[in-house]
């Protein structure tokens, strides 16, 4: 890392079931219920959590931790030295703003209440609810009640004389805020008692990490602590919305769909405000809008929906010194290991199947606790096929993600990383229909940013 000494990176396992007593309680006349943790300080899991919280609050070296979307790389959002530690570890461009994570509405309101002229010049006609203590624009209230804690980031005005370090906003007058739907993330933020700036815990431009080992692969020697809380549930980053614009905009697709947003009061006319092409000439208002992201080392060839599967001859053109190619299949492609030896159509397309929706959302912190023991389909293991042709032998490594959109979202970054570890010469990806909902749109948004070549349908 530019000649600087490597740090000693430790991965600390923490099981949410072993940190103590978790409770949710209703808050009358408020937008969201409350969440509390009574820590059992005798368990190794709690000791690891407290160690990470102390580092997060006092160190300038960021801490990696799980959220429901992807692993985040967190730092105290109020200290410039700590926030700069994120940019340094990720080698991230400094004009790419960071999302700030909170453990409660109380913590968010505390930050918004600091400053001499909170939000006056940024509301664009969107009022608060009339209570002097309420500083969250009313346009966001239906979303907070329905989707927080969860994979949704809202754009808020940054108060005058804000507590946030200027590096968080990258020069903007707004910042992104969310409350994550992950017990370890919430417990960590509560114990550190600071708002936490946290982009994905990967090296800049690389696939987002959905497991602790992905973080270690990218950031070993650059950070000191990774909390290992197991694989992430959603697999793509949060949806980012701007309710201060008219009409409201989705700036980044993610775990909450535009259809779900439009079902909320005040959001019926929500429009898409992001582009798949990088906006190199503009200041990004949210992460993921400007720079190429999510790219493995191997070139990615993305086949858009409706395009026929590649033939063996087309695949073979991408062979390099490793004599090995990768294929990520979703709902239509299927690699037949027998056909690779006898005909030219390596990948076939069985009958179309419908996706299932990603979110079966139970509201609030109480819903989060009810869902904590549910497990996700880990996805299919990689299959390596031997391809034998006249005067030619090579390998085709396939990772089938299946037709379920939730499993595709959870598995796509891990699949790109796994094929990169196999040192394949190129990766072919079967795209999905981004009109199937915003989760599908989020997957395709990430894949288009990762792809070196896009094959149109």
Dump pLDDT digits (tens) for 135-179. 999 999 999 999 999 999 999 999 999 999 999 998 899 999 999
Confidence of residue 243 (pLDDT cuts 50, 70, 90): very high
Q: Quick one: average pLDDT of 437-456?
A: 84
Contacts of residue 126, defined as CB under 8 A and 6 or more positions apart, other chains included, come to: 137, 138, 139, 243, 244
- Selected residue with higher pLDDT from 439 and 325: 325
Cα 212 to Cα 220: distance, rounded to the nearest angstrom: 11
Q: Quick one: average pLDDT of 191-220?
A: 94
pLDDT digits (tens, 9 = 90+) for 244-258: 999 999 999 888 888
Contacts of residue 246, defined as CB under 8 A and 6 or more positions apart, other chains included, come to: 124, 125
Q: pTM, whole model, 2 decimals? A: 0.81
Confidence of residue 274 (pLDDT cuts 50, 70, 90): confident
For 45-104, give the DSSP string: HHHHHHHHHHHHHH-SS-EEE--SSS-EEEEETT-HHHHHHHHHHHT--TTS--EEE-S-
Answer for the pair 241, 126: CB distance below 8 angstroms, yes or no: no
How many other β-carbons are positioned within 10 Å of the β-carbon of residue 41? 10
Answer for the pair 73, 64: CB distance below 8 angstroms, yes or no: yes
Cα 104 to Cα 267: distance, rounded to the nearest angstrom: 23
Domains of the chain, each with CATH number or no CATH: 10-272 (3.90.870.10), 300-455 (no CATH)
Answer for the pair 153, 67: CB distance below 8 angstroms, yes or no: no
Provide the pLDDT for residue 121.
40
Provide the pLDDT for residue 292.
52
Cis preceding-peptide flag for 247 (omega within 30 of 0)? yes
Which residues are bridge partners to 176 per DSSP?
99, 155
- Selected residue with higher pLDDT from 378 and 257: 257
Q: What percent of the chain has pLDDT over 90?
A: 54
What CA–CA distances, in Å, run from 228 to 63, 66, 158, 225?
A: 11, 7, 32, 9
| Residue pointed to by tokens 């000649």 | 3
| Helix/strand/coil percentages in the chain, nearest 5 | 25, 20, 55
Whether 18 has a pLDDT exceeding 80, the answer reads yes
pLDDT digits (tens, 9 = 90+) for 102-134: 999 999 999 999 864 444 444 444 544 444 457
- Selected residue with higher pLDDT from 128 and 446: 446
Q: What rounded mean pLDDT belongs to the chain?
A: 84
pLDDT digits (tens, 9 = 90+) for 413-428: 889 988 988 899 999 9
What CA–CA distances, in Å, run from 177 to 73, 116, 284, 442?
A: 15, 20, 16, 19
For residue 326, give the 3-state DSSP assignment. Answer: strand
Answer for the pair 184, 66: CB distance below 8 angstroms, yes or no: yes
Nearest CA to 294 out of 406, 403, 214, 399 is that of: 214
Provide the pLDDT for residue 347.
47
Cα 427 to Cα 315: distance, rounded to the nearest angstrom: 10
Q: Quick one: average pLDDT of 288-295?
A: 56
Radius of gyration of the chain (CA): 22
- Selected residue with higher pLDDT from 276 and 53: 53
Q: Quick one: average pLDDT of 212-227?
A: 96
Most confident of 2-11, 191-200, 206-215, 272-281: 191-200
């Amino acid at each position: 890392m530019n000649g600087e000494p490597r740090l000693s990176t430790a991965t600390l396992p923490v099981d949410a079931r072993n940190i103590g007593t978790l409770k949710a309680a209703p808050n009358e006349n408020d937008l969201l219920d409350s969440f509390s943790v009574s820590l059992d300080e005798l368990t190794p899991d709690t000791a690891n959590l407290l160690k990470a919280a102390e580092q997060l609050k006092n160190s300038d070296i960021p801490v990696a931790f799980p959220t429901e979307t992807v692993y985040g790389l967190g730092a105290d959002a109020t200290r410039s030295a700590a926030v700069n530690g994120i940019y340094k570890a990720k080698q991230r461009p400094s004009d790419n703003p960071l999302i700030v994570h909170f453990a409660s509405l109380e913590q968010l309101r505390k930050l918004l209440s600091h400053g001499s002229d909170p939000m006056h010049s940024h509301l664009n006609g969107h009022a608060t609810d009339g209570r002097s203590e309420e500083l969250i624009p009313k346009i966001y209230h239906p979303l907070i009640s329905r989707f927080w804690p969860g994979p949704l980031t809202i754009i808020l005005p940054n108060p005058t004389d804000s507590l946030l370090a200027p590096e968080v906003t990258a020069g903007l007058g707004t910042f992104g805020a969310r409350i994550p739907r992950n017990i370890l993330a919430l417990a960590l933020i509560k114990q550190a008692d600071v708002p936490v700036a946290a982009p994905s815990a990967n090296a800049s431009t690389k696939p987002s990490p959905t497991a602790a080992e992905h973080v270690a692969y990218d950031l070993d020697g650059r950070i000191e602590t990774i909390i290992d809380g197991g694989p992430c549930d959603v697999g793509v980053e949060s949806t980012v919305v701007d309710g201060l614009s008219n009409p409201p905009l989705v700036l980044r697709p993610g775990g909450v769909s535009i259809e779900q947003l439009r079902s909320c009061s005040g959001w019926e006319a929500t429009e898409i405000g992001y582009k798949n092409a990088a906006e190199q000439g503009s200041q990004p208002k949210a992460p993921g809008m400007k720079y190429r992201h999510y790219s493995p080392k191997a070139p990615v060839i993305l086949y858009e929906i409706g395009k026929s599967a590649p033939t063996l001859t087309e695949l073979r053109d991408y062979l390099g010194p490793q004599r090995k190619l990768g294929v990520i299949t979703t709902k239509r492609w299927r690699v037949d290991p027998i056909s690779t030896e006898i005909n030219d159509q390596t990948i076939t397309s069985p009958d179309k199947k419908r996706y299932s929706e990603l979110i079966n959302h139970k509201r609030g912190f109480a819903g989060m606790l009810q869902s904590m023991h549910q497990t996700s389909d880990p996805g299919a293991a990689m299959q390596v096929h031997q391809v034998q042709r006249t005067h030619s032998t090579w390998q085709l490594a396939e990772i089938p993600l299946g037709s379920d959109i939730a499993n595709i979202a959870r598995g796509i970054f891990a699949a790109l990383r796994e094929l990169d570890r196999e040192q394949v010469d190129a990766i072919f990806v079967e795209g999905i229909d981004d009109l199937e909902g915003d989760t599908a749109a989020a997957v395709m948004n990430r894949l288009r940013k990762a792809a070196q070549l896009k094959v149109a349908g």
